[in-house]
Structure formats: C-alpha cells, structure tokens
Amino acid sequence: MSRGAGQYRTHPETGAPGAARLLSAWLLAVLVALLLAGCAGPGERTGASGGALGVLPDTGEETDTRRRARIRVELAAGYYQQRNLQVALEELGQALRIDPAYPAAYNMLGLVYMTLGDVPRAEESFERGLGLAANDAELNNNFGWFLCQTGRERESIARFERALNDPLYRTPTVPLHNAGLCSERLGDVEAAEAYFRRAFEVDVSNPVAMYNLGRIYFGRGQHERARFYAQRLITMFEPTAQTLWLALRVERALCHRDAEASLGLQLRRRFPESQEAGLLASGRYGD
C-alpha cells in the first residue's frame, strides 16, 4: 500500500460510519509507525497517508527528463507530508514543466488538491494521470479513495479492485483497507469483512485489518472471534485508547471481569483525557 508511477496513500480517516474517529489518529500512530515500517524500502519515506512515501524510477532506463521531474515530485511529497501544500504545488508545477507526461506528478497533484478540498482540480489531476497510466495501482487506489470521499463509493470499489489486479503491487493491504471502509459506507458489512480478511491474510500482523475485523465481529455479537483480533492487537502493538476500548468491551461481553478491570485500569491510566475513558466513566459500553 510498486510506486513506480508515484507512491502515495490517502489516509482512511473518514471511512466507515462509526470508524472514522477510531481510524484517524490510530492509522497515523500505528499503521505508519508499525505496519508499514517493514514495507518501506530503501530510499522511501513513510507518509501520513499510511504508506511509504517516495517516488521510484520507472522500470527500464530512466531519461534525464524523467529523473529531474521525479526529483521535483519527491520534493513535493516531502512538503506534502509536512502539510506545506503551497510549496508542494510549486514543486509539482516545476515537475510538470519538465515532464508534462509524468503520471506520478498528477497523482501527487491530485492528493494535494484533495487535501485542499479542491474537488474539481483533484479529480482532473487523477484523471490526467490515469489517462497516461490507466493501470497504475497507486493512481487507481488514490482515485478510488477520492471517489469514496466524494460520495461515489460504488465507483471507488472498482478502482480499488483495479489496483489489486497488479500482481507486482507491493502493499495491497492499502486498497483492501480502503475497499473495506468504503463497503461499510455502502452498508455492505459482509463485503467489508471480506476485504479486511483478505488484508489479514496478506499480512497477519496487519493492525488495521485486525482492528476492523475485531470491531465488525464485536458489532455482530461474535465475541470470541472479536477477542482473537482484539487480543492480538494489544499484545503485538503499543495499545491506544481505541484498541484498549475494543478489547475491554469484548472481555466485558464474555464476562471476563478480571481482564475487563485490567484493561479499564490501563485505559484510565494511560489515556485519562480520551473519549474512551469518558465512555468508561459513564458506563456507555455500547458507544
């Protein structure tokens, strides 16, 4: 979640109803720091979008023009990470003056405009990039997330599937996560479960898949299945308020009072100002 044509990810922080807040901070803190730390290769940067952020040379011999444009896009990616969007736009303008047919530049441009809330320019940028590289996995994934965020969830699923058709795509868990979240937006929880299960099968140490599967199974009342994922999360990764809250509610549902009390103590001690600690204090376990 290769980036040959541009390695960028949006972050799924406004995905499925009820999951948006849970995923936003957690994806930044856990997915970036833990899940993809092992996926980012030499020369890549880890992005706030949940993927390794960088631009690799195209396969084959890279022309001097493409190399100079790539360097500009890499600089733009760095500024994008820092949320210095104006400078990112300037670098991308330079890249496209050097090489007007560089798909990675349009991919990055789409992400910048998406962050700025400029929907028409974001869509135009993604479409221009896809006009140059219709099967590019990164462009299809990012355009899919754009579509999902702009009320076109059904169209977005086709884009994620197209990204997944690339057998060389190094981080397929990203479009799988995105497809899961957008399927939930459509009310198709079964499809969402299937996408998150596929992500877990690709990488059994995948915290985003584990969290979402635990959340889905808990919501269905399948508490033992939810416990499997919740326990893996808090055992394998530094707990967050969200993961502790999920694990606590699972243990409560299973009448494991000692485990519930222990998790509650951790939540109050480590995250006393969190919304989850507030829910615990008020006894609102269904929220």
Segment 161-201, tens digit of pLDDT: 999 999 999 899 999 999 999 999 999 999 999 999 999 99
Residue 39's pLDDT is 32
Among candidates 2, 7, 4, which has minimal Cα distance to 58? 4
The CA-based diameter of the chain, rounded to the nearest angstrom, is 65
Identify whether the C-beta of residue 33 lies closer than 8 Å to the C-beta of residue 42.
no
Q: What is the mean pLDDT of residues 81-93?
A: 96
Least confident piece of the model among 46-50, 195-199, 281-285: 46-50
Domain 1-203, CATH homologous superfamily name and number: Tetratricopeptide repeat domain (1.25.40.10)
Looking at residue 18, its pLDDT comes to: 35
Q: How distant is the alpha carbon of residue 276 from its chain centre?
A: 22
Position 61 scores a pLDDT of 74
Mean per-residue pLDDT of the chain = 84
- The answer to whether residues 26 and 161 touch, using CB atoms and an 8 Å cutoff, is no
- In sequence order, the 6+-apart residues with CB closer than 8 A to the CB of 27 are 11, 12, 13, 50, 208
Average pLDDT over residues 54-81: 83
pLDDT band, very low/low/confident/very high, at 54 (cuts 50, 70, 90): very low
Q: Return the minimum-mean-pLDDT range out of 1-10, 162-171, 229-238.
A: 1-10
Q: How far apart, in whole angstroms, are the C-alpha atoms of residue 191 and residue 145?
A: 17
- Summarize pLDDT for 257-266 with one digit per residue, the tens: 999 999 999 9
What stretch(es) of the chain map to CATH 1.25.40.10?
A: 1-203, 207-287
State pLDDT tens for residues 117-165: 999 999 999 999 999 999 999 999 999 999 999 999 999 999 999 999 9
Domain spanning 207-287, CATH architecture: Alpha Horseshoe (1.25)
Output the six-digit token pair for 151.
Answer: 């009320």
pLDDT, greater one: 150 or 38 = 150
Q: How confident is the model at residue 55 (pLDDT cuts 50, 70, 90)?
A: low
Q: What share of the chain is helix, strand, coil (3-state, %, to 5)?
A: 65, 0, 30
CA 246 to chain centre: 20
CA angle 188, 223, 269 (to 5 degrees): 105
Dihedral angle, C-alpha 149, 153, 158, 159, nearest 10 °? 0
Distance CA 42, CA 213 (A): 31
pLDDT at 252: 97
Q: Could you count the other beta carbons within 10 Å of the beta carbon of residue 101? A: 14
Q: Is the pLDDT of residue 32 over 60?
A: no
What is this structure's pTM?
Answer: 0.78
Q: What is the mean pLDDT of residues 96-115?
A: 97
The 10 Å CB-count burial string (b at 16+, else e) for 174-201 is: bbbbbbbbbbbbeebeebbbebbbbbbe
Identify the residue whose tokens are 């009448």: 255
Tell me how many helices (H) and strands (E) the chain has.
Answer: 14, 2
pLDDT at 42 over 60: no
State the pLDDT confidence band at 286, using cuts at 50, 70 and 90: confident
